[in-house]
Amino acid sequence: MVVTDSVLSGNVVVDNSGGILLTDEFSPTAHNTVENSTVNTTPSTVASRSPGIPVPGS
């Protein structure tokens, strides 16, 4: 479950319990582009970093 240097574009997700997942659960996930995609009737989850974990490029 690692995604790096990928483009997710022009997708439609409907009635999906997971939506679109980009995770760094096993290794860094970085430099991805999500564009022109629609997620309908899926609860939204916005992941965040814990305080003290540096944000790349900052």
Q: Which two tokens stand for residue 15?
A: 């009635």
pLDDT in tens, 10-57: 988 887 766 778 878 888 888 988 889 887 765 555 565 555 656 555
The residue to which tokens 């899926």 are assigned? 42
Nearest by Cα to 17 from 1, 37, 40: 40
What single DSSP character describes residue 49? P
CA angle at 12 for the pair 2 and 18, rounded to the nearest 5°: 50
| Burial category of 42 from C-beta neighbours within 10 Å (exposed 0-12, middle 13-18, buried 19 and up) | middle
Q: What is the pTM of this model?
A: 0.54
